[in-house]
Structure 1
């Protein structure tokens, strides 16, 4: 079994994070979750990868994309992986 190439940095019970989780699941994408510190000022791991301390944030090793903000991430997933299920059908 191969390691997922998408990493999602998220908080417990975060509605914006759950929106991204739903989109990843809808597209059947494997991902690893990294739960981060609830205190905004303690989210150094997220700051190192995305330049911001906000969540959700993803790193997609398939494309080299790192981004934050749920609306941007959902749009990215739709554009990048949205047509995969419809191809060949």
Structure 2
């Protein structure tokens, strides 16, 4: 990926995740972990959807994660390099 224009750290444009696979990945990722409220997940995903770093509708270009998975986890933070797009206090909703 050397010399490639700005994009996702971990994938190429040909990478797509089906809604079914995404749901399964979320189930696996949250097992045994603390999660945020559904309202907080929605808030985080709204922030991600308005971010220029969202690639392919699912992937964060700054960390390569699937944002729908990362948004579920209490310990997660927004990896945006200049400023977090997730309000840290909103996780207490």
Q: TM-score, normalized by length of structure 1?
A: 0.31
Using CA pairs below 8 Å that are at least 6 residues apart, which structure has the higher relative contact order?
Answer: 2
* Structure with the higher fraction of residues in strand conformation: 1
